[in-house]
Amino acid sequence: MSQKRRPPPTAAMSGRLAAKTARHADEDEMNDFEAELAQMEELDIEEKVLTQVDLSQCPQDEVSFERWRRPPAPALDPQTADLVFQQVDLDHYLGPAMKGMTSVSSGTVAITRMFGTTNEGHSVVCHVHGFLPYFYVTAPPGFQKNHLEEFRQKLNRCVTEDLKGSRAVSEAILSCELVNKQSIYGYSEMGLEPFIKITVLLPRLVAPSKRFLESAMVSTSAYPSYNYRSFEANIDFEIRFMVDTHTVGCSWITLPRGKYKLRSENDQTSLCQYEADIRVNDMVSHPAEGDYSRVAPFRVLSFDIECAGRKGVFPEPNKDPVIQIASMVVRQGQKDPFIRNIMTLHTCAPIPGVEVMSFKTESAMLDKWAAFIRLVDPDIITGYNIMNFDYYYLVNRAKHLKVKNFPYLGRIKGSVSVIRESTLQSKQMGRRENKNITMEGRVNFDLLLVLLRDYKLRSYTLNAVSYHFLLEQKEDVQHGIITDLQNGDEQTRRRLAVYCLKDAMLPLRLLDKLMCIINYMEMARVTGVPLSYLLLRGQQIKVVSQLLRKASEQNLILPVVNIQTGDDFTGATVIEPVRGYYSVPIATLDFSSLYPSIMMAHNLCYTTWIGDAKKRQNLRPDEFIKTPSGDYFVKASKRRGLLPEILESLLSARKKAKTDLKNEKDPFRRKVLDGRQLALKISANSVYGFTGAQVGKLPCLPISQSVTAFGRAMIDATKQEVEARYRKENGYEFDSKVIYGDTDSVMIRFGVESLAEAMTLGKEAADFVTSKFVKPIKLEFEKVYYPYLLINKKRDPESAVNFAKQTISDLLCNRIDISQLVITKELTKTEDEYAGKQAHVELANRMMKRDAGSAPKLGDRVPYVIISAAKGTAAYLKSEDPIYVLENNVPIDTQYYLDNQISKPLLRIFEPILGETRAASELLHGDHTRSKAVIHSKVGALAMFTKKKATCIGCKSVLPETGQNEPVCAHCRQQENQIYMTEIMSLNRLEDKFARLWTQCQSRRVHHTKDPIRGGRVIDHGRSAYTMAELHLIGQLHSLELHEPVSLAGTLGTSGYHCGFRLVLGEGWTHLEGSFAGRTQSTKDRLEPQAIWNFPLDSHLITRTFQNWPRLVFEVWRTDVLNRSEVLGYGTVHLPSRAGRHRLAVPVWRPLGCNIEELQRTFLGGGYELISFDALASGTERYKLQTTGVGYLYLDINLILRNLARFGVRTS
């Protein structure tokens, strides 16, 4: 229930409706979002009362600061207490070696840094010392331990001489060790082989060391020229640390008592509440199981900025100011933000539920927002397109204004946040140019990047995405009026602030709705990578992490593979569909986790691939298999593959997570488990793609092409087995037929008429075919289509043909909305990289020339329409921005859409019914294609040379230059009076029609239309009313009877009573004419507890549903002799559902306050009042009220009902 602000609450006020406070008559009514913000403020006030926080004596700034801070961290004794936290981010930095913490005695070393939050919400940074980077190389034949020191010295000399200036180090290679390992790549019977493990001082020294070794530049006495092969030299330092310490992303970390040191406040280098140091061997990382699968109360900040741009130019940070910054902070696991503020340039009117901070200068605002970030200390920062716009704009704007303290946005003191540009390319997302910001300790979780990765949408604007997932939209503010709103007064800036706040709130709602943070945290736990890697890196790093973990358990190491591109392998098979429409059930069977199952069933792995024909000669025929693609792999009985083991553990863990999900009752815990099973599924499916990525860390085409070859063979085998078994000669009623198959599913026509029979046969066939394959391959029954393709073969297609012809006619006559003609394509490459001219690429180039700031960037989806042009013009030259087309009235090339977008799909549908010749001639030619509308463009061709001239109202001839302002020409001037009367009569008819339409339209609106600058609202015109039935209400509001006489406190008594009423209509009902709301006259019955009004009621309603039945709501008022009024009580009643005459008695009640408030009401008057009729009609929050009866309202009404029988409703 929508509520307004109330006085400071007492304990007795908890759980009751807010009292209505006086508002200025000219104040705008709150929209839905503002009302929600106000409600959040009410909850905050109640929370303060419950927790007894007294901040009333503090200055306002100090109150805000205290509310922003994290809860105070209690003192911690490292000798007696463990420090337990969930890490959210992990990186490394170069720092001085700490005595007693690392094997390196002095100099600069790499220190791993973990940021996180305790279960109580306290921030932690942990410096982990003693972990050093390393990699492996093959040991030359005959290499012994006594060769190691010379090898180390020679390699160290090469590396140190290569480093000069500030990058120079005295000791680059710390140690060399001879170890026994085995390469993961290719089957080998040799067992473990000698490798040299090389430990270096810093992570950046791995690359030059690898380069010298592979180019035979490290010359020793025993091996003067040897080309060493590198292993695991391309592994990130953070991944190496996490694998070796058994740490996964977002895991819980324990620093055991007596093992860590807590830094004093003077020694802290971060803004975190706890800062600790520990040796790498002493820290404990917990698997994400049981109690350690929970999620800490991380702080998530969402923000949005608004800029005052110039007309027609996209804002530029060196010219256009930032005028507002909205911020919302929520604790992970909670729904509503506990911090809601907006910082504005110049004054802004108050917004309920939001802290409004106004600044005289832009510099002061930016400085305050940066201080706000440091004080709130969020773990995760989100927003929409913040990486590529908001951060870039804020950092460069602050630099332009010389705001010195602004760029320190991370958790490390003195560390400047820097914008860096990067390019990410993958098959999933294509090629994208991104901007990243360095912000140590905080994870930037840009919602736009999440949606681009995980969802295929037509449009990725915040408005489109919010409507798609939430059925919500942004506030109604066009970019073109933002500067006008800023230059207005505090009320116009308030409207802009609400718009900005909504843009900060929507990402939080989307994150909660889509469970993005939970899902990504579980993905980080499953794959073992930092949370930030999931957004900033591609897919391969996740598989590399899992592969490293499993390989290290078996003494296997990963080679560094040179990137080579070659021929692509053949993909999945598609069985040619048997075209037609089926009036019988079509069963669909689907392979469960097909590609992972194939890899497990046939033991396909790096470690089992036999790439050398000589190795096969040492194996018996029953020890290996030949795949359909011609590749060879050893069987699991000979050697169990690493990839099948990984897949088996992932799928079994998913099965367990799904079982736990069914049994779990806690809603938040259910979200975590659901996110975990989804992450396990995605991880299992990504293993196959990793082996087939030719530009990757460890490609192996024999694996990927064998998987798809097995898949093709299995689809073909399924078709053969089904069609051979389910035949008449085997006792079945019909011969079965596989009508379609694609990748991992087949569609079967068993010929039976019954849906139940088709389902039974489908399940039976799935089990039968499963028995023919190697475990764990499993074919499952999925669903039944009945009828298939929605239309019966024998059905008369006339209505469908007419619909298609009408749609084509609407298209050619420009009666189709332009939104249905928009084509969107992703801009994945630059113009030079495309083989031919592309429509969306050419449009992006033209838009870049018009306005570089707002033009599509690499990786964006480009919407366009095809416009009319000269005959023979190429399609790529006819693409145009839909907004530009609307603004300039550019005509659409409707014939292009008919020929290239509509005709082929239509013919595919209708040719099986009408035949090829008839379908083309009847649908694409004929009378419906001969009428075409022609639109004259404002731009292009001869339009720029034309001039619009006025014409005579009477004869429509063009008026001369000297008479352009006259209504009629000289010839019609004698009939001017007659023409005038004709136009007046036409105007009267149109005004009458407009009044009827306006009345109907207003009843369907959500908000009233406001001034476009001062009070714009989102207007929902709704769907047009389709009149199915009518209700006519005729009667009178007769009288009021009270339980006892009532008088106003402190007055000479009650002067009289009056009653306000209103019809409340639900979805589908429309008020056509008559009284929709009103108020009775006031009575003068001072001594009697009653009032008689006989007030007439007359209303005509129409409806297209019998649901949401209309009701009457009442508000009864009393007035004293001094004309002071207050609410006496409320009532509500549904209209009867039967026609005829009715006498209704409506109970009247009022809300009760606590004893003190009722005593105040007795002597001072006043009391609780409901906010609106809408609040009265809804029973959603009525349970919060305590009420008392006042009396009864009596109504005499007659109802006339018409056509409700269409809904099966008996009305007599």
Residue in 537, 287, 290 with CA at minimum distance from that of residue 426: 537
Q: pLDDT tens digits for 1062-1090?
A: 888 887 788 878 888 888 988 876 567 88
Same domain, 374 and 494: yes
1003 in a domain, yes or no?
Answer: no
- 809 or 51: whose pLDDT is higher? 809
288 in a domain, yes or no?
Answer: yes
Q: pLDDT tens digits for 739-751?
A: 888 778 888 888 8
Q: pLDDT tens digits for 402-430?
A: 999 999 999 999 999 999 887 766 655 56
Q: For residue 56, give its domain range.
A: 11-68
User: Is pLDDT of 794 > 50?
Assistant: no
Residue 1194 has which token pair?
Answer: 């009596």
Kindly tell me the sign of the dihedral angle through the C-alpha atoms of 824, 924, 899, 939: negative
Same domain, 363 and 488: yes
- Distances, alpha carbon 1176 to alpha carbons 54, 1068, 1132, in Å: 35, 20, 8
Domain holding 1097: CATH number? 2.60.40.150
Amino acid 693: pLDDT: 74
Cα dihedral 821, 826, 830, 834 in deg (nearest 10): -70
Output the 3-class SS for 1053-1068.
Answer: CEEEEEEEEEEECCCC
952 in a domain, yes or no?
Answer: no
Same domain, 630 and 775: yes
CB count within 10 Å of CB 323 equals 25
Single-letter amino acid, residue 1204: L
Same domain, 780 and 709: yes
Q: Residue 791's pLDDT band (boundaries 50, 70, 90)? A: very low
CB count within 10 Å of CB 975 equals 13
Q: What share of the chain is helix, strand, coil (3-state, %, to 5)?
A: 35, 25, 40
For 360-456, where are the E strands, in sequence order?
380-383, 419-426, 430-437, 443-446
Single-letter amino acid, residue 17: L
Domain holding 573: CATH number? 3.90.1600.10
pTM of the model: 0.68
Same domain, 271 and 333: no
- Mean pLDDT score of the chain, rounded to an integer? 82
Same domain, 238 and 381: no
Domain holding 421: CATH number? 3.30.420.10
Task: Report the distance separating Cα 646 and Cα 606, nearest Å.
Answer: 12
Among candidate residues 911, 927, 943, the one where a domain is terminated: 927
1185-1201: b or e for each residue (b if 16 or more CB lie within 10 Å)? beeeebbbbbbbbebeb
Amino acid 972: pLDDT: 87
642 in a domain, yes or no?
Answer: no
Same domain, 616 and 506: no
Among candidate residues 244, 261, 283, the one where a domain is terminated: 244
Amino acid 783: pLDDT: 87
State how many domains the chain has: 7
> Looking at residues 463-482, what average pLDDT do you find?
85
CB distance 320 to 308 below 8 Å = yes
For 201-338, where are the E strands, in sequence order?
230-231, 252-255, 260-262, 274-279, 284-286, 299-307, 322-331
Same domain, 630 and 748: yes
Task: Report the distance separating Cα 913 and Cα 935, nearest Å.
Answer: 36
392 in a domain, yes or no?
Answer: yes
User: Is pLDDT of 657 > 90?
Assistant: no
Same domain, 484 and 584: no
Q: pLDDT tens digits for 359-390?
A: 999 999 999 999 999 999 999 999 999 999 99
For 711-803, where are the E strands, in sequence order?
737-742, 745-749, 779-785
Task: Report the distance separating Cα 820 and Cα 810, nearest Å.
Answer: 12
678 in a domain, yes or no?
Answer: no
- Distances, alpha carbon 447 to alpha carbons 250, 355, 450, in Å: 19, 25, 5
964 in a domain, yes or no?
Answer: no
N-term to C-term CA, the chain? 36
Task: Report the distance separating Cα 755 and Cα 586, nearest Å.
Answer: 9
Amino acid 1201: pLDDT: 86
Same domain, 595 and 730: yes
Same domain, 433 and 491: yes
| Strands 1029-1042 and 879-880, sheet pairing | unpaired
Same domain, 268 and 225: no
- 45 or 1027: whose pLDDT is higher? 45
> Looking at residues 235-261, what average pLDDT do you find?
95
Q: Residue 4's pLDDT band (boundaries 50, 70, 90)? A: very low
| Strands 355-359 and 624-626, sheet pairing | unpaired
570 in a domain, yes or no?
Answer: yes
Q: pLDDT tens digits for 514-526?
A: 888 988 998 899 8
- CA–CA–CA angle 628, 629, 634 (5° rounding): 75
- Distances, alpha carbon 234 to alpha carbons 104, 135, 239, 427, 536, in Å: 24, 9, 10, 21, 17
For 566-623, where are the E strands, in sequence order?
574-575, 586-591
